[in-house]
Amino acid sequence: MNYRHLPALFLLLTTTWVQALKPSDPARFEKAIQAFEAEDATQAPPKDVTVFVGASNIRRWQSLRERFKKTPVLNRGFGGAQISDVVHFADRCVIKYQPKQIYLNAGGNDLHAGRTPEEVLATFEAFVTKVRRALPKSAISYISIPASPARWDEVAQVKQANALIAASCAKQGVAFIDVFSLLLGADGKPRPELYVEDKLHFSEAGYDVVTSAIRWQKDILAFGKKDAEKAPPENPIVFTGSSSIVKWKTLEEDFPGLPVMNRGFGGSELFDSFNYAHLTVIKYKPRLVVMYAGSNDISAGKTPQRVFADFEAFVAKVHAALPECRISYISNAPNPKRWSMVGEMQEASRLIEEFTKTDKRLQFVDVYPHMLGADGMPKPDIFVADGLHMNAKGYVIWKEVVGPYLK
């Protein structure tokens, strides 16, 4: 090795690092930071808060609190920010709250301003270093730089920066949340419905994708690890959806001789099954998909029409990749805990049932009447203590009703 070039190389790397760390013009964000401080003075931030920080896609996330109702969150995004700006103001907009969890989404503005992917990586690592020094127990997650129609000419730099940061996250124990690929359509380009008119910032549909990725990427990655440990069967029957699928632990013994796979993720909504269909369903090239989802959607305040629309989108996504695949939808189940919502549950099921009649590849599996007693109420002895999930008796009912659709 020629060591004569090492001083020059060190100088180059040092110069790149210093340039990367230098904020573009931190003074232009002073008013935004002062506004956060004024808000804190009016209402003290909660303890164990989750802080979302970064550029305009964070700042414009008006539905953030609504989407994460069970988690105290703070939005500390300031539009136009680069990662170096977030590093500069980290003491005042992140560290001071001693958050339990931090989500950072920035880097696109850095690239747009002419910074290199390597400089974006350097500022990201500086952010992690600064936060870890002050808050060693706080979890840090990085939401990848998204694809956008307005900056599609910069896509190569975006991909490179995301790859560099993903590798750094793996080494540092930081969660890398990949939203880039989820924002693309079948043509490999950003899906226009996920952006507002400027073709740069997310619409509410775009925030649906980001929310889903934040909540479920860890579970989806776990499926990938399972596949690496044990090869999935060829042309399987994939069960997917929410916790009633996850908790079907006797699935293989209930249907012996059939290549059944469980790819449910508990607490998920039907949109999540659509969002990750390529990784939970399509990749396995199943002969049949059995889905149970929609109950959590209604509980979260979504309308039956939205549940139906998400099922329709799921079907379209699966059939675009696998035209011959059959899809069986298990009706929303009655349960004591959500009995007050039974009307909306039934309406969602009705809309989906009508839709399944339009395509011979679709089936509607109606478990609803089989779970009711003579009094028309949910059978109390088929549920566990939470009044929501089934016990073994409940799954015996599902086995008998679902079984014929698997043949």
Its sign, for the CA torsion 340, 290, 262, 317, is negative
CATH 3.40.50.1110 fits 234-406, yes or no: yes
The model's pTM is 0.90
Give a three-class secondary structure readout of 56-116. HHHHCCCCHHHHCCCCCEEEEECCCCCHHHHHHCHHHHCHHHCCCEEEEECCHHHHHCCCC
Structure tokens at 110: 């850095």
- Residues of the chain within CATH 3.40.50.1110 domain(s) are 3-216, 234-406
CATH 1.20.140.10 fits 3-216, yes or no: no
Tell me the average confidence (pLDDT) per consecutive run of 10 residues in the chain, 407 residues long.
44 47 77 96 94 98 95 95 96 97 98 97 98 98 96 98 98 97 94 97 98 96 95 96 97 96 95 97 98 96 97 98 98 95 97 98 98 95 96 98 95
* Residue 238: φ, ψ to 5°: -100, 120
DSSP states of 173-196: T-EEE--TGGGB-TTSSB-GGGB-
